[in-house]
Amino acid sequence: MATITFKGASIHTNGNLPPVGSQAPDFTLVDGALNDVTLATYPGKKKLLNIFPSLDTPVCAASTKRFNDAVKGYGDVVFLMISADLPFAMTRFCKAEATTNVIPLSLMRSRAFARDYGVLIEDGPLAGIAARAVVVLDGNDQVIFTQLVPEIAHEPDYDRALAAL
């Protein structure tokens, strides 16, 4: 269990991020066409997992836009934006904000991803959705960088996450 804050108040996640050097837990998330997506959907690709509560918040929207702009310099990487938002809402956001370089994925069918990655918020007003975190995987799905953002209302460390790629 990790302790983070939401607007200064302590809240807790169900566990910890996968350790650097470990094999990333597989997952099943939902894309904008309601297809299941797993790690195997992107074989041999490096992956940046930007995990956050909802695109309906300014910080989550900002991180999606920032990674969308960054992806242009990384041809061998997929940037996965993961939240509890419904795929329809994520698709609308990406279209409206022209964030077409990132791949929005939803926890819609299961919270297993959030549990397996240790980011499921267990208490407070955001209980049941994911904390803000970034996980970077190499082409073999080994964890090479993690950051659990200590205050949900803050943005992740973009420079360190991108440097890991």
State yes or no: pLDDT of 25 exceeds 90.
yes
pLDDT confidence band for 136 (50 / 70 / 90) = very high
User: Tokens 């309601």 label which residue?
Assistant: 34
Which CATH number do you get for residue 123?
3.40.30.10
State yes or no: pLDDT of 68 exceeds 90.
yes
Q: Are the C-beta atoms of 103 and 125 separated by less than 8 Å? A: no
Q: At 147, which amino acid appears?
A: Q
Domain containing 30 equals 3-164
- Nearest residue to 83 (alpha-carbon basis) of 123, 118, 46, 56: 56
Write down the pTM of the prediction.
0.94
Task: Please indicate whether residue 60 is annotated as part of the active site.
Answer: yes
Q: Which one is catalytic: 24, 29, 37, 60?
A: 60
Q: Say what the pLDDT of residue 163 is.
A: 94
Task: Please state, in angstroms and rounded to a whole number, the distance separating the CA atoms of residues 146 and 144.
Answer: 7
How many structural domains comprise the chain?
1
